[in-house]
Amino acid sequence: MSWCIAVESKRLNVYSFEEKHATYHKLLEHPIDVPEEMVKKYLVQYQEYMDWVDSHFHVNSYFEYERDLAGIEQYILNLSVFKKYKKPLTWKDRWEISWEDWNRMHYLLSLVPFDHHFTDQEHDFMKSNIDLYTTCRIDIQDLQDQGILVSGIPIKLHTLQQKTKLISNVPQCLEYYNNWARSATANFALTYTPAEMTNLAALEHSAWCADTGRALTHNDITQQKLLLSDLKE
């Protein structure tokens, strides 16, 4: 689904809140209808990629989105390349905010241009972390200005639940996927019921945001800080 959306949007990643809104607000108004051949195309490409990886590399660890995303920094620091370090420097060591909190801030603030309604918990979370988030974001911009980084850190685009608002024929896409999975030899090709997909989508979505609440205002996070957080020019 992500690849199908990328084909329509012409964007693999976005790096600013304005870019995200400009890229996707029209898709929210006019969701796309994904043909079966496109779903199969990207499933086959992914299976071919996994076969290539297994043929050319001794894979040390497989990242599983549902299992590992919540602790992605620890997952990375547990990889063999970091085992020689007794205590690798973490995101929080450097910027006083954990990677998970910083990345969630990066995502939640990107919803402001979409008039997303935030819960009280999200308001409190953003108010508590906006200063540390902003300091880190400006440091990242400095690294870009110095040519050390080619780009900033991309913003999470959509949860699976949000993808269902960009694609008009999600039930059919699940059917297309299940038909492919039943005939595929890949060990990751598991079939899913609609209820299972709904539960997975809700679980992922709840880790990032909630759909009920009130819109963010400049009384909650000042206009100056919002501008600074998205970015120092």
Asked whether the beta carbons of 169 and 180 are under 8 A apart, the reply is: no
* Alpha carbon distance 201, 64 (integer Å): 15
The confidence score (pLDDT) of residue 233 equals 37
pLDDT tens, residue by residue, 38-75: 999 999 999 999 999 999 998 888 888 778 888 899 99
* Residue segments in the chain with a per-residue pLDDT below the cut of 50: 215-233
Cβ neighbours of residue 101 under 8 Å, at least 6 residues apart? 125, 129
The confidence score (pLDDT) of residue 232 equals 38
* Alpha carbon distance 2, 12 (integer Å): 9
Per DSSP, the residues of 32-93 read: BPPPHHHHHHHHHHHHHHHHHHHHH--------HHHHGGGHHHHHHTSGGGTT-SSPPPHHH
The confidence score (pLDDT) of residue 211 equals 57
The confidence score (pLDDT) of residue 84 equals 83
Q: Is 4 exposed, middle or buried (0-12, 13-18, 19+ CB in 10 A)?
A: buried
